[in-house]
Structure formats: C-alpha cells, structure tokens
A and B are shown apart, each in its own frame.
Chain A
Amino acid sequence: MNDTSAQPTRRIPITGYFARIFTGFVSLLKGLKITFHYLSHPSTVVTQQYPENRATLKMAERLRAQLTMIHDDNGYHKCTACHICEQACPNASIHVAERAKPALSKTELDTFIWRLDSCTFCNLCVMVCPFQVLQMKSTFESSVYDQRLLIYNLSRYAGPTSTVLAKQADDEARKNAVEPRSVYDGPTALNGFFLAGIPKELLVTLDRKGEV
C-alpha cells in the first residue's frame, strides 16, 4: 500500500540493546528445553509401525472403508434390488443389476456392483437401505495396482431375498431358485479385462461411464 504511514503499527518496546538480546536468548532456551524433553523421553513417541503392528491394530468400529453386503449364516442376503441405494449414491458408484429371469419374486438381484474408485464413503447407501442389506466395514487395505480392481461385486448369488427363500419347502427348491455368482470382494491378481464376479460387458460400460 502507498499509505502505510496511515496504517496502525505495532510498537515494539525498545527496552535496551542488551536486554532484548538477553530475553531473546532466554526464549530460545525455553524452546530448546521443550524439544529436549521429547528427545529424552522415548515414551512420547506417538507413531505406529504400521505393517508390523497389523496383529494389534484396532480400527474404529464405525470407520467407513469398505462397503459389504450382509449375508446371513446360510449365505443369503436381503436385497430386493429396489435401487434406492443406487438413487442415493451421489456419484453413481453403485450399480444394481437385476436378474433377467426372476425365479420367485417380481425383481431379484443379479449382481451388486460397487465402485470403490469413485466412492466417497458418504454412507448414504447404508442409511437409506430399507432392509439394512449394506454395511460399511473398517477393512482399509484396498490399494491395488490397477484401477479396475477397485470394482467389486458384493452379492454372492443371483436370486431372491433370504425371507423369500425361507418360505420355500426344502433345500432343493432353494437351490433351484438361486444361481451362484463368483464374488469379487477384494483385490486379486490382475487378470486382463476379466474380473471374477463382474460380467465383461458391464465392466466395459462401467469403464465408459467412469470416463465421463
């Protein structure tokens, strides 16, 4: 500014040449004392040795790092393929593929595609789900060398929900109603364009979507 003279300035008291050197010197010593305290007390070290402490590492229960689909003890989920999570997702990270020929219900889930690469972990899909099908887990080690490996399939079978299946007469009927889907629920070795659990055509369209 041109009018610096008009601006207020801080008055630094001139308490004498040697007094200022002395107080400055003392302030430096105080700082040295604090840093030396930390050096001489190795117990103040706060960092963790991460890959080594894997066994004892405990993440917060609510930490959102990985979307999973809850499957009960029999391996059945409750997803009705209602698409509400897909609508709630702010950046189209979820793609719910319906089964082409539903066996028992009107709509049945085929594959539940979740894209970790574009997910913002906002938790909206989990919150809006009317059947509590989804869950965020704290398993955070999801780094891979290829972005395509971050596309997950969360459903283990194509077919109706566990409630519908429970109404079936016997195991045979249940078996006929479901069609196993290979789950891709974590990084695997890079295998060209093919990813276990995710149809090749879908992967290509998803890739194109991601480009936009």
Chain B
Amino acid sequence: MFNSLPNLQVSWEVISVSQRVSTTYGESPILAVVYALAAIVAIILFMSLTAMTLVYTERKVAAHFQCRLGPMRVGWHGILQSIADTLKLLLKEDIVPDQADKAMHLFAPVLCVLAALLALIAIPFSPYLAVSDMNIGVLFISAVSGLGVLGILLGGWSSNNKWSLLGAMRAGAQIISYELSATLSILVVVMFSGSMKFSEIVQSQDQGWWIWRAPVVGLVAFLIFLVASTAEINRTPFDLAEGESELTAGFHTEYSGMRFAFFFLAEYLNLFIVSSMGATLFLGGWMPLHIGNLTFFNQVMDLIPPGLWFALKVSGFIFLSMWFRWTFPRLRVDQLMKLEWKVLLPIGFINLLLAAILTLSGFYFFPGNS
C-alpha cells in the first residue's frame, strides 16, 4: 500500500559511522579498527557528558521554576557541580543489603545503562553522525529501550525490600502499558513517511515537520507520544516507580554510590533518547525547518547546520519534560493505568486509523513533493 507514495527525493547524503567503518575496512583494516574504537570512546564520553549536562540543566531549571538559584558554588554558577557529584558518587562506599541477591543487585543498574547505550546507536544526530542507520531503526529503539524495564524490575526484586519491590512492580506495569501508546503514535509517522529507517523519516520531513504536516493526527500523535514517553522514562507526573513521597525511593531505595549513579545515568540517557526520538519523528530531526516550496525561507534555514537543528529540537523536548516534572503532581497507580487503557490507547487507535486514511488519500500538506 505504500507503493502509492512517491519516492523520496534524497537531497542529503547520509553516511553513518558504521558505513564509514566498513568502507575503510576495504582499504585498511587497522584504520577501521582504530576508527571503530574511537567511535566507542566517543559514545561513552558523549553518554557521560550528556548525563552530566542534563543533571546540571535539570537542577538549574528546577531551581528557577521554584524561585531559587540552584547550584552556585562549584565553578561559575555551579557549572562544575555535576563533576563534583560524579566524583563523590565514585568515591562513596558501595552498600549492598545483607539479604540482597548480590549478583542481580549488581547486574540491574548495568542492564539499565546497557539498554540506554544500545538505543543510542540508532539515533541520527546529523546526516554524517549516526552510529548505525539501520532500516528498522524505529523498531530497534522501541525494542531496546523496553529492555531497561528489566533492569528496574531486577533492581527492585534483588534489593529484598518491600518498597523497592512495589516500585519495581509499578515500573514494570507502567512501562509495558505505555509502550503500546508510544508505539501507536510512532506508527503514525512511520505510515506517513513510509519507512522505519531514521534517515528516511528525517528526509521525508524535507517539506515540513510531521507534527503539523499531517493535519491534526500529527499533533495528536505527538501529544500521545509526549505523555507516553514521559511515562516510559518514569518522570513526573508518572514517577511512580520512584515515588519519593510514597515509596521512599522506589526501586533504587537500596542503591548507593556508583550503582545508584548508573540508574541515574540511565534515567537521563533515556530522557535524551526519548527526546531525540520525539524530535526525529515529529520535529524533523536534523532537518532544518522547511515549509513547502518557500525557497528563500528554506535557504535561510539551511544556513544553520543540521547538527545544531537536532540539538535545538532535542533541547526543546527535554525542556518540555522538565517543565512537566516541576509543575505536575504524581498520578495514583490506578489512575495511571486508567489514563493509558481508557484514554490514550483508544485515542491512539482512532488516530492511527485516521492517519491511515489520510495517508492513502494523500490528504496532508505538500503530499506530492516529498
């Protein structure tokens, strides 16, 4: 049925890092290995830097939402606070509860970070910067980020603490439920762009972003994705798994030091991943803001490099998430389920149906050009 769609006009040349490594391998295998290693180091560096920046940003943004200043001591306006905190967490004693399942207790945070790290592979930062541009990129991220819940479940279970267990069970039920709505909203974009490959999804937004180009359904899908993704990464108003006032600290009650830091790292990486998913699917990813055939406007927008576009859109998405967190209270556990199964899921299905009709009839903005 997607054959009726016109073929994509590829105006940007997309080269992923993995492609580059395999091309280099033909010329010089050693160089390719060095190249691959450099990419791995870069990813790990990127991972920790992103998490640190996000923690700092979150603290600053939260502070100003609450008429405070936030960290001000370490460095200019506390800019080195995250580094100090990381050092502190590294040096802290690693406390494991006496009756805990020691191996699982250690494995859980690692699993969480691993899931986030795997998802990072498919994210297209710019046309030339993505580790791998696989043809099922969307599916890959959805699948891999679902792995993170296993870490949370394990962490809660192995801690041998009833609060932890409650938190873990909540997280399990919540993440699996909201995965459905998130996927339904992603499917809308997949349908319009006719591909699951991130580079093609981005290219399909050459004429405009799907959030507005797909009339109404794009916006509805975006809102559903926003809610569902917030729930998937356990942030307020869906932070039931941690639920500080209810479950002390939920699944990571019994974690401290570096193990806790790993959960923290995974949480912020997931925030980044979800935000870049949202930015890529609904806000055009690294594609500059183009509107139809307004050539002059489009050329002006092209002056800003695609990497910067991506960063800006992701920052916007992250800010939205922080804004929610520091404004809303938490839902109750049954209300959370009600919201998913009685509100989001039906709307998601109807939206998907409408999107299918719109796609087939070509009834959306600039259908012929993409």
Contacts and interface: CB of A to CB of B under 8 A. Distances in A.
**Quick check: do A and B touch in the complex, using CB within 8 A?**
yes
Contact of A38 (B65, B72, B328): B65
A4 to B, nearest CB: 16
Interface residues of A, number: 15
A44 B323 contact: no
A35 B327 contact: yes
B95 interface: no
Contacts of A21: 343
B88 interface: no
- Chain B at the A interface: mostly helix, strand, loop or mixed? loop
A101 B130 CA distance: 90
A31 B328 contact: yes
B64 interface: yes
A44 B72 contact: no
B347 to A, nearest CB: 8
A32 B323 contact: yes
A19 interface: no
A122 interface: no
A140 interface: no
Contacts of A28: 327-328
Contacts, number: 34
A36 B67 CA distance: 11
A116 to B, nearest CB: 28
Contacts of A47: 67-69
A45 B328 contact: no
A83 to B, nearest CB: 48
A207 B299 CA distance: 81
B327 A32 contact: yes
Nearest to A18: B347
Contacts of A44: 67
Nearest to B347: A21
B64 A38 contact: yes
B61 interface: yes
Nearest to B326: A35
Interface in B41-95: 61, 64-69, 72
Contacts of A34: 327
Interface string B254-292: 000000000000000000000000000000000000000
B327 A31 contact: yes
A45 B65 contact: no
A45 B64 contact: yes
Interface string A34-51: 111011001011110100
19 contacts: A31-B327, A32-B323, A34-B327, A35-B65, A35-B326, A36-B323, A38-B64, A38-B65, A39-B61, A39-B64, A39-B65, A42-B64, A45-B67, A45-B68, A45-B69, A46-B67, A46-B68, A47-B68, A49-B69
Given A31-B328, A47-B69, 9 more contacts: A28-B328, A31-B327, A35-B326, A39-B64, A39-B65, A45-B68, A45-B69, A46-B67, A47-B68
Closest 7 CB pairs of A and B: A35-B327, A35-B65, A39-B64, A31-B327, A46-B67, A47-B68, A44-B67
